[in-house]
Amino acid sequence: MRHRALDGSASSDAFTDLLFNALLGFAMMFIIAFMLINDPEDAGNIDSKAEMLITVRWADGHPDDVDTLVEGPHGEVVWYHNRDGELMHLDRDDRGLVADRVTLDGKEGLNPINQETVTVRALQSGEYVVNLLHYQSNYGESLPVTVKVEKLNPEVSLVYYGTRLLKGTGDEQTAVRFRLDSAGEVVGTNELQKRLLTLVLDKS
């Protein structure tokens, strides 16, 4: 047991211990922060689990429901009734304001972002068709919908970016068709129209 000395050395020792512990804590935080710093050369790298990303967006907070349909080279179609194809997956089916409630910090609120994404997990040669379906319209005016197609590996490259005006419930439009060669490279794009909804309904 430490006894208080008349010259105050015990107080001095306690202060030294406190200072040492504080410095040790700062040193540990610095080491942890240094370990978490990303290598600049790794910036922009994408997880190779996905080879291509198709993103469909319309105005935040808009109540309309837009569906994405993507046909692969073998004729399989990914959409909300078939979220998994051979090598494609519909990551998110956005229904406008329906089922858009989220809980954050214990409080329930509305997620305003209207976005659907389809990932292509492996590249197959042939043609891919990306269609938009205005599943439910709540207003009389046309709805602008943007479509972005990106090839992710070995680095991110833009295949297509454009906007289509959907004209009401049931309107289906082809946003883009693109073709891949045997090496997985994009060899052409076009916007020739092709109905996919009739195709998938005939198969069901």
Does residue 16 sit in the same domain as residue 81?
no
Cis amide bond preceding 40, omega within 30: no
When divided into structural domains, the chain yields a total of 2
Q: How far apart are CA 27 and CA 15, in angstroms?
A: 18
20/120 same-domain check:
no
Q: Look up residue 5 and give its DSSP letter.
A: P
Residue-wise burial string across 135-165, b where 16 or more C-beta atoms lie within 10 A, e elsewhere: bbbeeeeebebbbbbbbbbeeeeebbeeebe
Q: What is the pLDDT of residue 46?
A: 42
The span from the CA of 139 to the CA of 166, in Å, is 11
Does a structural domain hold residue 47?
Answer: no
Q: Are residues 36 and 59 in the same domain?
A: no
pLDDT (tens digit per residue) in 2-41 = 444 445 555 666 667 677 777 776 667 666 665 555 444 4
Q: What is the pLDDT of residues 97-129, one digit of tens each?
A: 544 545 456 665 566 789 999 999 999 999 999
The domain of 72 spans 52-203
CA distance 129 to 185: 16
List the CATH number of the domain containing 161: 2.60.60
Q: What pLDDT, on the 0 to 100 scale, is given for residue 6?
A: 47
Q: How many residues does the chain have?
A: 204
- 146-168: pLDDT as tens digits: 999 999 999 999 999 999 999 99
Report the distance separating Cα 165 and Cα 173, nearest Å: 9
Task: List the one residue out of 98, 104, 101, 80 whose CA is nearest residue 90.
Answer: 80
Task: Tell me, yes or no, if the pTM score tops 0.75.
Answer: no
Confidence of residue 184 (pLDDT cuts 50, 70, 90): very high
Whether the pLDDT of residue 194 is over 60: the answer is: yes
Rounded Cα gap, residues 166 and 171, in angstroms = 6
Question: Has residue 46 been placed in a domain?
Answer: no
Give a yes or no: residue 77 inside a domain: yes
Task: Judge if 141 and 72 occupy the same domain.
Answer: yes
Residue among 117, 125, 123 at smallest CA distance from 54: 117
Mean pLDDT estimate for the chain: 82
Between 1-5, 78-82, 129-133, 162-166, the lowest mean confidence (pLDDT) is in 1-5
pLDDT for residue 153: 93
